[in-house]
Structure 1
């Protein structure tokens, strides 16, 4: 079975079908078709894990078909321990997004659902592409559905936010295209990414390629100082858009470092590791302080995402197994936790139509079930032991200690800042006396919202209590990547 092709094209096909249905009088049918498409798309990804051989670092479930034969471009797919979990995460989050929009989106429902399903397939394509040009096509194509989602269903400044998101990420990616074309000619006319891993490149070329890739992936992560598009995009995006943006799309940039920067230009990656680590620590420290003074809940969680993704890039560029594995675990955990936090904000916004922290207070008195979920996700965002948020951060800190104790000490401050801004928000929104009439009249979450929250809570707790299945899958691939880069610790 071509599981990867199914995981890519099944949601895209269902999305196109939904666009063809058209009118809003069919909205209920559209919702059920979208849910069926999302669930089926997730089901076809399950064999990728159940049939995955964790003892090898080789690509698995590979598919190769000729595409543009004149230029030796192939439709080449495969996954290894570095990428397979992101395919499942993408399909899982798509189900959550479809459920979250069930009663909230009542106009252009087919376009909304169709855009998310098409986006889901394109993001799976990014994580499974083994041809450079195919990767670039999927990587850039993801911009279009998200641009439409923000631009049509977003807030008052949605057009500004959509344009800023599109231009930032597009401009960064153009340099990556130049790098891909250079590698194509340097490899004798091949876009095979795995063949590029073996190219003997001089240091000068590696440095230029490193910064070309860095321009594309750093914007997507996003790293400081090219992060300014993210808070605007999150604030203006609808709830589903914020969930996918935080849970999956930020991971595309971090994944690019694993698949391109580290293995293709290992010497330049080592040479410029201190530069990337410095930017990562600025994200962890400075952005944490910025999050602390936010009054808008969405903006606070958006800045929180930048700080947590700084942890990911830090883990990757300390060049040891614990750091890289911790960075990947942090990416998966962040997918669950940040997605859940944006959903919680969406639940409140649907009822009160405000994202300002000052508009709430004492929510636990009127929405106890919802508040229990929200506090759990907030604790995971703080890195509380027993939740998924702790595992990745702890692994990265331990890996950083092996490289340099003082770097680890600085990185660990994110746990303090993370707890500060998250608990400060929780205290003002959920606890205390009921602050105003809007909160007094709130109704607790319904069965649909409870089911959605319960799925994410189960994922957060499962990964926090028993992360072994996740780490076992990636262990061999991470070890092979470290061996390929040829360094075990930062000198």
Structure 2
């Protein structure tokens, strides 16, 4: 029951926000939203400390018949594959509320829509039924379209439309695969019942194609990525937090939870392609990031590159790579949210995101500059920070399965060090250009610091003690390996 309460409490929060009178002052709205966003986060903390040893197979489950004749049910539960992202969804929604300083109009509507999106995000990582997975997957679509299209910058509408078209097309194709799998299996749409794959190999191969396509669009894998840059650059800072930290993982988590265990023979022929796409993401994201004058665009392409490590780990089919992929979902969410928030802070203080027009942040904004450096070091895979552990595991697992892909992925780390070091040299340590806005720039205040310090803390904590997360996910990864016949 606690899983269902955690998933749907944000819906109650959305109703509360939308019920505020028009005359309510912004301070009251913000503090109420903050209190409401804290509830799912505290519930996930309770689940971690009380039940973290029980998350091998799905635990804290609830199973209620929904459309009995078709084998469709309201089936939710938590396991080690999804719990890290379940926790991160609650955390980043809370962080997004704190980081909403750049949202000043229609505030109660903004928070209400954000909470509806949280329902979809939490639901995906707890769903144990294919149709329910799809429903929660789609619940995120309209809220994110509105958060970008209404509250974004001057290019928000074309960016939101592109996001809607790409992701709706991908999820519709994915649904066709879900329907084929469920109908040919009974009908039965229970993920637990379908685990291990019971269909002939040829049927699995055919069904896997649309499911993989839909999930790779959401990730996004290059060349299905063109919606991502426009959306990231056009979104307000608080929307960037959940867009970068959570939305791409709906796709990668689907690979781990649905595609691999339910269609093991069907996905097998596509694994080398997924590994290759992962390497393309890593190399392409790194090279294009080199050419970005916009600080936010650089972070966006860095995010594309880091997602490639998840794809490589998924394709490895071994314990090291899969554990790396599951952990990388969380570590990527932490560092990308941290960097996007800090980019927003710097842009609001300095009046620009152009890297060539920035400089001297270490002197003018020591806290923001120092934390930006920490986030960049995490994105590079610096030892002692959480991303190093997950990337190293993904590369090692990928190298065992695909030596050339693993070697190229390691090259991607070197490239990320190069372009992120350049960014830090220009923005933090470089000479400050003569600009009045830059000369008057002040450091991050208490509100901004309260949004980024928890993310920085977790990056350090999981870098030093990765077992806090790996111990939760490992039993579920072992069950996944048993389902796909890996080792």
TM-score by length of 1: 0.96
Instruction: Give CA-to-partner distance per residue, 1:100-150, whole Å, 9 cap, x none.
Output: 11x332210101111112211210001001111111111011011100000
Superposition pairs for residues 149-188 of structure 1, below 5 Å? 149-188=147-186
Do the aligned partners of 2:197 and 2:261 also contact (CA within 8 Å) in 1? no
Contact persistence 1:179–1:213 (CA under 8 A):
yes
1:261 to 2:259 alignment:
yes
Q: What is the correspondence of 1:127-276 to structure 2 with a 5 Å cutoff?
A: 127-276=125-274
- Aligned positions of 1:349-364 closer than 5 A: 349-364=347-362
2:341 corresponds to 1:343: yes
Distance, in Å, in 1 between the alignment partners of 2:167 and 2:139 is 11
State the 1:30 CA deviation.
1.2
Residue 454 (structure 1) aligns with: 453
Equivalent residue, structure 1, for 2:35: 36
- CA 186–220 in structure 1, closer or farther in 2 if over 3 Å, else same: same
**Does 2:486 match 1:487?**
yes
Q: CA deviation at 1:176?
A: 1.3
Task: Select between 337-346 and 185-194 the one with higher mean Cα deviation.
Answer: 185-194
Residue 69 of structure 1: how far off its partner (Å): 3.7
Query: Is the CA contact (8 Å cut-off) linking 2:65 and 2:74 kept in structure 1?
Result: yes
Counterpart pick for 2:412 among 411, 414, 421: 414
Aligned equivalents of 1:210, 1:291: Cα separation in 2: 32
Q: Displacement, 1:56?
A: 6.4
What's the offset of the Cα at 1:11? Answer: 1.1
Secondary structure of the 2:176 match is helix
Q: Is the 8 A contact 1:246 1:339 kept in 2?
A: yes
What residue in structure 2 maps to residue 63 of structure 1?
A: 62
Q: Rate the CA distance shift 1:462–1:316 in 2: closer, same or farther, 3 A.
A: same
SS at the partner of 1:345? helix
Measure the CA separation in 1 of the matches of 2:73 and 2:58.
Answer: 16
Give the structure 1 partner of residue 367 of structure 2.
369
The SS at the match of 1:83 is: helix
| Corresponding residue SS for 1:51 | helix
Give the secondary structure class of the aligned counterpart of 1:189.
Answer: coil
Match of 1:432 in 2: 430
Q: How many angstroms apart in 2 are the aligned matches of 1:250 and 1:91?
A: 16
Partner of 1:290: 288
Q: 1:7 offset after TM fit, Å?
A: 1.2
2:8 is aligned to 9
Cα deviation code 1:205-241 (max 9, x no counterpart): 1112111111111011100100110001001111111
Asked if the contact 2:120–2:138 (Cα under 8 Å) also holds between the matched residues in 1, the reply is: no
CA distance in 1, matches of 2:401, 2:443: 48
Where does residue 468 of structure 2 map in the other structure? 469
1:340-363: per-residue Cα shift (whole Å, max 9, x none)? 000001101222332221221111
Cα distance between partner residues in 1 of 2:198 and 2:342 = 49
Q: Is the 8 A contact 1:323 1:396 kept in 2?
A: yes
String of CA shifts for 1:218-267, please: whole Å, max 9, x gaps: 01110010011000100111111111111011111000001111011111
Paired with 1:375 and 1:69, the residues of 2 have a C-alpha distance of 54
Provide the rounded CA distance (Å) in 2 between the counterparts of 1:415 and 1:366: 30
Mark the CA change 1:53 to 1:364 in structure 2 (over 3 Å): closer, same or farther: closer
Distance in 2 (CA, whole Å) between partners of 1:133 and 1:409 is 38
| In structure 2, C-alpha distance between the alignment counterparts of 1:381 and 1:216, rounded to whole Å | 27
- How many pairs does the alignment contain? 486
For 1:23 and 1:353, locate their aligned partners in 2 and report how far apart those are by CA, in whole Å.
31
Cα distance between partner residues in 2 of 1:463 and 1:177: 35
- Cα deviations by residue, 1:180-201 (Å, 9 ceiling, x for unpaired): 2112221222221111224421
TM-score for both structures, normalised by structure 2: 0.97
Distance 1:198 1:484 in 2: 5
CA distance in 2, matches of 1:285, 1:22: 50
Gaps of 5+ in 2: none
Kindly state the Cα deviation for residue 337 of structure 1 after the two structures are TM-superposed: 0.1
Q: Distance in 2 between matches of 1:75 and 1:405?
A: 42
Q: 1:331 aligns with which of 319, 329, 332?
A: 329
Q: Which residue of 1 aligns with 2:104?
A: 106
Task: Answer with 63-72 or 364-373: which moved more.
Answer: 63-72
Q: CA RMSD in A?
A: 1.4
